């Protein structure tokens, strides 16, 4: 029996139109960057420029017609959600897909970090310590601001550590939790705006730092040749690039199977913990997605060892492309989803959060880099500053300006620091989930962030602290 579906129906085309406009935003962003000298020199990612362009167009449409661009029927007809909500969903899913693709990649961490475990661990501790510093200062700012703006959630300042430290997807996750569970009006747009300001701080601030030290003669900015950006497209033992099934299809299949497994894990955990923590569990989609990808890697290794699988199905080059696509989509969709009318009362707070966040991150990362990574202090600073105000990709972009061949260990540090960072940083995610429950819990969680920051820094500077004590004991 016919379902009555007609391909001439306007319900058939919204998804295509939706994706086409997002892709057009990326193309326009790329064009703008190429032809505007300031933007070309600023290292601002094309996805950020594209997202800001779409946000500008959508906001102009909102204030001239009364509705955001993506909420028009051509983008969401037949859907129970608005176009802006679809953008938020896209941001949410792209975060986990990007993490899964990155985790599935083959790595030889044992050989690369041999003899440098301490530096890798220190990088992970620095990452988490920066989150804690950003969260502590952010909560302090919003607590004070809440007395002037009563509808501002006191705990909302902790989103600074997710918007700056972890990017668009996590800023949206916690903004959504605070908006849906705690009535923080505009919470999602609040988080997305912090993330967008973080990208600008990473890109523009990074260029200012590079130019300043270039004039002082401390660093040399090198032009990287196209050869340095080439990756190994195919390694020995892998399935051919073109076979009975395309190799890209295999990579996408692995990623989506992992993500489906992630949903099953979240579904089971959600039923076990009860309705109070369901939203929090689903906010960890990227973390549980990473776990699913690790399990998938181990299964594939086992199949190779037992000769049940004779060829390697994982390809790093294509997984990097999938991750890059997912993160570009995440950023442009996340910035495009900002609803300016919902955060009009928060602009002063957002700018204060951004300025304080940039200064605190800059000074802390610089101090750590120059104290503990003396053989490559500028390189470590650049990659860490870029990562902890934007994303890991932003950090790599900045690092390439002074270390295009990745001769220093700085690039390896941010790759292999993920494991210690996840272990040490997981409690902070729980703190963020508990923080807005009451004023008392907000104050208590702020104190915990501060105490944890002190503990981690004692561990981080263990060599300096205990070296001084040993010298004093000898004297």
pLDDT tens across 280-292, in order? 788 778 888 988 9
From the DSSP assignment, how many helices (H) and strands (E) are in the chain? 21, 0
Which tens digits make up the pLDDT trace of 210-237? 888 888 877 766 554 444 444 567 666 6
Name beta bridge partners: 422.
none
Rounded to two decimals, what is the model's pTM? Answer: 0.80
CB 86 within 8 A of CB 18: yes
What is the pLDDT at residue 290? 85
pLDDT on residue 471:
56
For 74-120, the pLDDT digits (tens) are: 887 777 788 888 888 888 898 889 889 888 887 655 555 555 788 88
CA distance 309 to 10: 46
Grouping H, G, I as helix, E, B as strand and the rest as coil, residue 312 is strand
Q: What sign results for the dihedral spanned by CA atoms 27, 29, 35, 37?
A: negative
How far, in Å, CA of 144 to CA of 295, rounded?
45
What sign has the CA pseudo-torsion 458, 463, 468, 471? positive
State the sign of the Cα–Cα–Cα–Cα dihedral 434, 436, 441, 444: positive
Encode pLDDT of 433-463 as tens digits. 889 999 999 999 999 999 999 999 999 998 8
Q: How many residues does the chain have?
A: 475
Q: Give the pLDDT score at 453.
A: 96
Give the pLDDT score at 239: 66
Low-confidence ranges of the chain (pLDDT < 50): 1, 224-230
Contact 329, 98 (CB under 8 A): no
Predicted pLDDT at 225: 46
Report CA-CA distances (Å) from 376 to 112, 363, 373, 401. Answer: 17, 17, 6, 14
């Amino acid at each position: 029996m016919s379902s009555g579906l007609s391909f001439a129906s306007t319900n058939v085309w919204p998804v295509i139109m939706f994706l086409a406009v997002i892709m057009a935003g990326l193309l326009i962003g790329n064009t703008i960057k190429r032809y505007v000298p300031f933007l070309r020199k600023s290292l601002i990612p094309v996805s950020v420029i594209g997202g800001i362009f779409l946000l500008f167009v959508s906001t102009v449409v909102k204030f001239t017609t009364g509705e955001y661009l993506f909420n028009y029927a051509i983008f969401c007809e037949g859907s129970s959600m608005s176009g802006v909500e679809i953008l938020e969903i896209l941001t949410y899913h792209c975060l986990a897909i990007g993490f899964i693709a990155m985790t599935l990649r083959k790595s030889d961490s044992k050989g690369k970090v041999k003899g440098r475990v301490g530096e890798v661990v220190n990088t992970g501790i620095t990452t988490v310590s920066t989150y804690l510093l950003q969260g502590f200062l952010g909560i302090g700012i919003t607590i004070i601001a809440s007395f002037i703006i009563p509808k501002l959630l006191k705990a909302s300042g902790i989103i600074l550590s997710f918007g700056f430290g972890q990017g668009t997807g996590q800023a949206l996750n916690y903004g959504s939790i605070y908006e849906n569970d705690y009535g923080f009006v505009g919470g999602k747009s609040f988080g997305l705006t912090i993330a967008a300001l973080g990208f600008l701080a990473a890109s523009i601030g990074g260029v200012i730092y590079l130019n300043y030290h270039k004039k002082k003669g401390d660093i040399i900015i090198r032009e990287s040749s196209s050869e340095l950006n080439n990756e190994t497209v195919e390694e020995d033992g892998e399935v051919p690039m073109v076979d009975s099934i395309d190799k890209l299809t295999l990579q996408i299949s692995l990623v989506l199977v992992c993500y489906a497994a992630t949903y099953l894990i979240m579904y089971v955990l959600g039923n076990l913990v009860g309705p109070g923590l369901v939203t929090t569990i689903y906010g960890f989609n990227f973390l549980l997605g990473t776990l699913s990808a690790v399990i998938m890697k181990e299964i594939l290794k086992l199949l190779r060892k037992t000769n049940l699988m004779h060829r390697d199905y994982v390809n790093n080059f294509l997984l990097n492309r999938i991750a890059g696509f997912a993160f570009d989509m995440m950023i442009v969709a996340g910035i495009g989803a900002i609803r300016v009318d919902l955060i009009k009362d928060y602009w002063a707070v957002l700018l204060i959060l951004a300025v304080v966040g940039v200064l605190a991150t800059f000074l802390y990362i610089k101090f750590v880099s120059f104290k503990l990574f003396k053989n490559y202090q500028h390189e470590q600073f650049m990659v860490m500053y870029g990562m902890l105000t934007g994303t890991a990709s932003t950090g790599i972009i900045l690092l390439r300006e002074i270390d295009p061949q990745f001769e220093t260990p700085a690039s390896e540090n941010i790759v292999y620091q993920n494991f210690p960072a996840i272990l040490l940083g997981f409690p902070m995610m729980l703190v963020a989930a508990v923080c807005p429950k009451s004023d008392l819990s907000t104050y208590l969680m702020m104190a915990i962030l501060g105490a944890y920051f002190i503990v981690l820094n004692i561990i981080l500077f263990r060599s300096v602290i205990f070296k001084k004590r040993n010298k004093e004991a000898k004297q």
